[in-house]
Amino acid sequence: MTDQGRLRVRDLNVGFRVPGATVRAVNDASFEVRQGRCLALVGESGCGKSVLAHALLGLLPANASVSGQAWLEHGGGEPVELVGASQAVLAGRVRGRAIGLIPQSPATHLTPVRTARAQLQEVIRELGSPATADDLAARYGLRPHELDRYPHELSGGMAQRVANAIALAGDPWLVLADEPTSGLDRPLVDRAMATLRELCDEGRAVLLITHDLRAAEQVADDLAVMYAGRLVESGPAAEVLGRPRHPYTAGLVAAQPDREFVPIPGMPPELTRLPRGCAFRPRCGRHTERCATSPPVDGGVACHHPLEDRHA
């Protein structure tokens, strides 16, 4: 892959209408990911990461409302605007062709009464791919006979590799990996991250959705931290994890088993009742009255009282 493509997202908002309230799942998210690089989107469960990913593919339920812009740019052609795109455009030009999705809990996304081979072959036919099921199996670490198993006969690692093969069957240049390490033990997590890194090194772009900072650190070039639906810090992964500036990011890093292993006090807010201003304010030891107003993004961090500037 030699064409330089990128995904550009600007001011993306996603809400869900529920009886008596609106779930504000994603708020003014802006980022980009380029070919040859991995952007890891990290944060606690329920902060809106997977909702953002599904919004890009038009895979949200009918009660969802989406605004903002998201462009796919590749090959020098006209960019594809994902927000508001028809299902015909998404199915015919985007899903599986430009963007491959590795879903959370792959085994549960496979049809239980069909073999892995049958499901992979169906995707190959639908996308018009020249690849064969056996070729894809070998590429992603499966032996041909393992494709003839049903999902319940696959180990967690094998189900993950089947999901990888399905996601890459159409040779997409952007791979969206939504919590691909859920339910895997550490050696399988390491292998999954190594596969994503290989995809970047081949020239693909990877958007990794994860709550596992160790996994993100293994593969990510860039990192964006989400809290209560908003991106609160972003930048080169090594800098964000090595010298975090947002108190929430610092808390995530400190909570890791190989660090202080101290959890962030309190609980995330309900997305139907976000506090005024900075949503992290009720859990933050640095908050002041100023934090009742929403902080702008300045230097990659949305905080009125950021920690020491890593560039100082």
Domains, the chain, with CATH or none: 6-98+172-248 (3.40.50.300)
Q: Give the pLDDT confidence score for residue 90 in this predicted structure.
A: 96
3-state secondary structure (DSSP) of residue 307: coil
3-state secondary structure (DSSP) of residue 116: helix
Q: What is the pLDDT averaged over residues 196-208?
A: 96
Which amino acid is residue 207, in one-letter code?
L
Q: Give the pLDDT confidence score for residue 157 in this predicted structure.
A: 87
> Which residues partner with 222 through β-bridges?
39, 236
Q: Give the pLDDT confidence score for residue 260 in this predicted structure.
A: 85
Q: What is the pLDDT averaged over residues 250-264?
A: 92
CA distance 104 to 176: 11
What's the pLDDT band for 163 if we cut at 50, 70, 90?
very high
Q: What is the pLDDT averaged over residues 148-158?
A: 92
CA distance 173 to 55: 18
Q: What is the pLDDT averaged over residues 266-279?
A: 95
CA distance 183 to 190: 13
Least confident of 15-24, 56-65, 245-254, 259-268: 259-268
Q: What is the pLDDT averaged over residues 240-249?
A: 97
The residue among 240, 163, 177 whose CA lies nearest residue 208 is: 177
**Residues 137 and 146: beta-carbon distance below 8 Å:** yes
Q: Give the pLDDT confidence score for residue 65 in this predicted structure.
A: 97
- DSSP letter for each residue of 160-179: HHHHHHHHHTT--SEEEEES
Q: Give the pLDDT confidence score for residue 312 in this predicted structure.
A: 46
DSSP letter assigned to residue 94: I
Least confident of 36-45, 155-164, 246-255: 155-164
Please list the helix, strand and coil fractions of the chain in percent, rounded to the nearest 5, in that order: 35, 25, 40
Q: Give the pLDDT confidence score for residue 283 in this predicted structure.
A: 96
Residue 119, H or E segment = helix 116-127
Given the structure tokens 């036919």, which residue do they identify?
125
Share of the chain above pLDDT 70, in %: 98
Residue 256 has pLDDT above 60, yes or no: yes
Strands of the 230-236 sheet, one edge to the other: 99-102, 174-178, 205-210, 38-42, 222-227, 230-236, 301-302, 297-298
What's the pLDDT band for 92 if we cut at 50, 70, 90?
very high
Q: What is the pLDDT averaged over residues 168-193?
A: 91
CA distance 36 to 191: 19
What's the pLDDT band for 309 if we cut at 50, 70, 90?
low
Q: What is the pLDDT averaged over residues 262-273?
A: 94
Query: Is the pLDDT higher at 128 or at 104?
Result: 128
Mean per-residue pLDDT over the chain, rounded: 93
**Residues 65 and 14: beta-carbon distance below 8 Å:** yes
The contacts of residue 106 (CB under 8 Å, 6+ apart) are 159, 160, 162, 163, 180
Share of the chain above pLDDT 90, in %: 83
Q: Give the pLDDT confidence score for residue 3 in this predicted structure.
A: 57
What's the pLDDT band for 82 if we cut at 50, 70, 90?
very high
What's the pLDDT band for 166 if we cut at 50, 70, 90?
very high
Q: Give the pLDDT confidence score for residue 232 in this predicted structure.
A: 98
Residue 2 has pLDDT above 60, yes or no: no
What's the pLDDT band for 184 if we cut at 50, 70, 90?
confident
Given the structure tokens 């069909």, which residue do they identify?
114
